[in-house]
Structure 1
Amino acid sequence: MPIKAALLSFSVALIWGMNILTVKGAVSEIPPVMLTAMRFAAVALLLVPFTKIPRKKLGKLALLSVVFGSGHFGVLFCALSVLDPGPVAIIVLLGVPFSSMLATYFFNDRLGWKRLLGMTLAFVGVMLMFWDPAMTHLQVPLLLVVFAALMWAVANVLIKKLGDINTFELNGWMALMAAPQLLVLSFILEPGAIDAVMNASWMAWANLSFTVIMSSIVAYGSWYYLLKTYDVNQVVPWSLLAPVVSVTGSILIFGETISTFKIIGGITVLVGVAVIMLRKPPQNQEQGMD
């Protein structure tokens, strides 16, 4: 991989790692479901005017907006409003083994012993984090992160079944459909959300802007370019730097405490996910879910 591509891959991982930190900062002032609605509304505003209407795919995009918009991001932001960014950044990596599991059913993908080993390590690592005595009162939020990871994997299946679609069309129109449903949920679940938005500081708005522009548009756009230009096995491993950035930032910025369970569990998850990502599938296999 050329040095420019390596630097771009590193930049994407850095942005994604910082993104969880900025979301954590934003949900400290703006309720999580409202924040998610605002995120998607901003993405739609920035992308939809410059894309065509994917008329034949609107039904599938509507389903994706529920799974990916509310099921993944909405739930993940709710968990982040309670949890430190470190555990969230690690546990959400379960989306990788969940994707491998779903690929065996929907795309007849063969797991093989290496990916089975990686999946086992990932789940064992998360279990260790659940057993952390300091996390015993946070089991429900931790389970929300696991659910968000599962919804990310389901979204991967739905995106693959969408077929050929422009990245910005997908993100823009999915966001346009996700924003209203999240707004309604916020009105139901977060009665003080409007007041919170009106009283939010400039830092909360800066954090939201980073999430919308840098993570949703710049990072994902760069990532799709890298995947189309270079071998998947050259690009994907860079994403493992993101949780390292998140954990480091959480310690430095939010004062997160690190326990033995977190360290061992986190490393075990990273190793397991790395095994899954680095496993090179046969040429006749579907590769979109690896």
Structure 2
Amino acid sequence: MKNVPNPTLIILAFFSVYVIWGSTYLLNKIAVTELPPFMLASIRFVTAGTLIFIICKITGKSLAISRKQFFNTVIAGFLFLAFGNGVVVWALRHVDTGFAALEISAQPLVVLLLMRIIDGKKIPAMSMVGVVLGIIGIYLLVSQKQVLSQENSVLGMSMIALALTGWAYGSLFVGRANLPSNYFVNTGYQMFNGGLLLFIASMVFGEEWSAPAAWSSPTQISMILLILFGSIVAFTSFNYLLRTVSPEKVATSTYVNPIIALILGWYFLNEQITTQSVIAAMVLLTGVYFINTRKKFLLYSRFANKIGGKRYEELRL
């Protein structure tokens, strides 16, 4: 008899993917005001990776992988976590959470362009509409006086764009790479290796480390939430949804996460939501919609259906 999905679990899983991942911008912003960015991200991912390894051992999952698979998890960990997430955390020192989330929501656009450049894939007419709208939306977002007048905001936006390109290329890489078949083991290695790379970056840039006991309460709480919920609970929920509902329904997080980030940044950090930001969000997310909906999210499904877990990184860890 076929198992019937539990509606309550589905609702809770969507809540995790929508709200928890949308809230990671706020949590990172709170923590990075006190902690060095690469230190913050390193502690988060090394701890999360270690906890996943412990869970795997308790549940009897083998952590044995081949040398090639290990090397590929290092590359993926660099693209998604060390470079991608680490640079975004750094940029959050200079950019509002809502702006960062909206810029990152353009990732499907960048993936599409990279597929065109690297693989020579033709961009369908509907997706071209999405590309044009996405570019217009990004311009409206970053051209605001409120953004340009903030110190180092242009640098922050530029660094996020580089991180976004790393995420997009990583999406192409994991779709072809030989990685551990178990998504939880795969995630653990990528997080742990990415965290180690971030530790090296922190040492290279001379960041000053401090013990958790010396952190303020908001930073301690933010780090705990990032590790347990942002890195483990939301990811598990995402993979549960991939196996329970259609990929296009899961992909709706692309549209919801930036809205959650905007609202939380406005409410908790008094970040300003301008009329132009709202217009930019509408234009940009409409463009992402045109890209994602072509032929039932073929772009999304190309990676989502190949994993057990390889596709998680495209959403905000």
Using the size of structure 2 for normalisation, the TM-score is 0.83
User: 1:287 and 2:301 equivalent?
Assistant: yes
Q: Which residue does 1:74 correspond to in 2?
A: 86
Distance across 1 between alignment mates of 2:257 and 2:296: 24
Q: Which residue does 2:13 correspond to in 1?
A: 8
Of the structure 1 ranges 252-261 and 156-165, higher mean CA displacement relative to structure 2 is found in 156-165
| Contact map agreement 2:26 2:261 (CA 8 A) in 1 | yes
| Alignment CA distance shift 1:101-1:74 (3 Å) | same
After superposition, the C-alpha distances for 1:83-124 in whole angstroms (9 at most, x for unaligned) are 110100100112111112233455665431111111221121
Q: Which residue does 2:30 correspond to in 1?
A: 25
Equivalent runs, 1:1-290 vs 2, <5 Å? 3-4=7-8, 5-49=10-54, 50=56, 51-55=62-66, 56-104=68-116, 109-137=121-149, 138-163=153-178, 165-191=181-207, 193-195=208-210, 199-281=214-296, 287-289=301-303
Q: What is the Cα-based RMSD across aligned positions, in Å?
A: 2.4
| Contact map agreement 1:167 1:221 (CA 8 A) in 2 | no
CA drift of 1:219 comes to 0.8
| Partner-residue secondary structure (3-state), 2:301 | coil
Distance across 1 between alignment mates of 2:297 and 2:267: 42
CA drift of 1:239 comes to 3.7
Structure 2 unmatched runs, 5+: 57-61, 305-317
After superposition, the C-alpha distances for 1:159-190 in whole angstroms (9 at most, x for unaligned) are 11125622211211112212222112112324
Of the structure 1 ranges 240-249 and 103-112, higher mean CA displacement relative to structure 2 is found in 103-112
Structure 2 residue identity aligned to 1:183: F
| Alignment CA distance shift 1:286-1:263 (3 Å) | closer
| Alignment CA distance shift 1:209-1:258 (3 Å) | same
| Contact map agreement 1:129 1:262 (CA 8 A) in 2 | yes
After superposition, the C-alpha distances for 1:53-101 in whole angstroms (9 at most, x for unaligned) are 3224111111112211221011010011221101001001121111122
CA drift of 1:196 comes to 7.3
Structure 1 unmatched runs, 5+: none
Distance across 2 between alignment mates of 1:81 and 1:190: 17
| Alignment CA distance shift 1:286-1:78 (3 Å) | closer
Identical aligned residues as a percent: 22
Structure 2 residue identity aligned to 1:19: T
| Contact map agreement 2:83 2:166 (CA 8 A) in 1 | yes
Number of matched pairs: 288
| Alignment CA distance shift 1:238-1:37 (3 Å) | closer
| Contact map agreement 2:248 2:297 (CA 8 A) in 1 | no
| Alignment CA distance shift 1:250-1:231 (3 Å) | same
| Contact map agreement 2:45 2:195 (CA 8 A) in 1 | yes
Higher relative helix content: 1
| Contact map agreement 2:74 2:190 (CA 8 A) in 1 | yes
Using the size of structure 1 for normalisation, the TM-score is 0.90
| Partner-residue secondary structure (3-state), 1:288 | helix
